[in-house]
Amino acid sequence: MCRLFGLSSAPRRSHATFWLLDAPDSLAVQSHRDPDGTGLGYFDPDGTPQVRKAPDAAYADRDFAREARRICSATFLAHIRLASTGSLTAPNTHPFQQDGRLFAHNGVVEGLPALEAHLGPDMALVAGETDSERVFALITREIREAHGDIGTGIERAMRWIAGHLPVYALNSVLTTPDELWALRYPDTHELYVLEREPGGPHGARHLDHSGTGGRMRVHSGDLADTPATVVASEPMDEHPDWRLMEPGELLHVTAGGRADRRLVLPDPPVDPLRLSDLSGRAAHSQTAGG
């Protein structure tokens, strides 16, 4: 299935290395299993969002992989795509950018014509074919209508989707230059969070996270003396404090680095999808490489 990774070292900016092509458990290796696109989002010092993504597997785009080695930001968002909706093009590859924010999603939402009708003129925010970008457009609209309150916007958008559309999963990560939000909903897929102290459990150690199944690897020497919060589709090292997020939990990592959480979706979707309800392609996207 698609893989999500988010990291916040706010209020400090940190360097992180992604796409370690020489590592046996790197994103490049994982992309052989999840081959429909790779993407990395981060922010320049002036807050300008940057997205580096390719609709090809990481192993097919070594220039993209080399560039990803030189990233510095207070927040990071990485995604490996196994497509469920939309063709293999750059506009359909995560992360997506809207109103200076970045977003990636792992799951399936159906009933897109109803979502598009609900969006109305805000469909102008959407450049591609995916359910994920349409979900993001609704979040963006709800944030605007909540006068910039991002947490409220996410909650309102996800509540509308859960109450009106067939939903398999809405796991997602949204980042700004200095804040991060993550949602797990419902209990279909796992999403873990680690509030990492400087140096990790042993002290004075850099961050070097690797997926247990060879899914992903991220390295940051700066986090030997800087705290961070990490969100990932699976625990990525031996740290004892990885915590499985509750279904319906919204995590917010503030600009000051504090991690807050609250239950925003206590009930299951009105129209929950089972794996057997999905089309062959959508079902494959939610199970392959898992």
Tens digit of each residue's pLDDT (9 = 90 or more) over 186-206: 999 999 999 998 877 766 677
Lowest mean pLDDT among 71-85, 108-122, 125-139: 71-85
- pLDDT: is 218 or 182 the higher one? 182
pLDDT score for 277? 72
- Residue 92 is classified by DSSP as G
Portion of the chain with pLDDT greater than 90, in percent: 55
Point out which residues pair with 83 in neighbouring strands: none
Give the closest residue to 74 by CA, choosing from 216, 254, 225. 254
- 10 Å CB burial of residue 81 (0-12, 13-18, 19+) is buried
Q: Which residues pair with 230 in a beta bridge?
A: 7, 194
**Using CA atoms, how far apart are residues 18 and 132, in angstroms rounded to an integer?**
23
Write out the E strands in 161-286.
166-167, 171-175, 180-184, 192-196, 207-210, 217-220, 228-232, 243-244, 249-253, 259-263, 271-272
| E strand or H helix that includes residue 102 | strand 101-106
86, amino acid identity: G
pLDDT of residue 55: 56
pLDDT at 280 over 60: no
Name the average pLDDT for the chain.
82
66 — pLDDT class (breaks 50, 70, 90): very low
Q: Which of 92-101, 109-118, 171-180 has the lowest mean pLDDT?
A: 92-101
Q: Rounded to whole angstroms, how far apart are CA atoms 241 and 281?
A: 35
Between 74 and 35, the higher pLDDT residue: 74
Is 50 exceeded by the pLDDT of residue 140? yes
What does the alpha-carbon distance between residue 126 and residue 279 come to, in Å, rounded to a whole number?
Answer: 23
Local structure of 46: helix, strand or coil: coil
pLDDT of 22 over the 60 cut: no
Residue 49's Cβ-count burial label (10 Å; 0-12, 13-18, 19+) is buried
Say how far apart CA 248 and CA 282 lie, in whole Å. 22
Amino acid 129: pLDDT: 86
> Sorting pLDDT into bands at 50, 70 and 90, what band is 99?
very high
pLDDT for residue 65 is more than 60: no
Q: 146 and 153 in contact (C-beta within 8 Å)? A: yes
The tokens describing 152, both together, are 């409220």
Please, which pLDDT band fits residue 216 given cuts at 50, 70 and 90?
A: low
Q: Which of 30-34, 214-218, 238-242 has the lowest mean pLDDT?
A: 30-34
Q: How far is CA 138 from CA 12, 144, 166, 195, 290, in A?
A: 30, 10, 16, 29, 29
pLDDT of residue 118 exceeding 90, the answer is yes
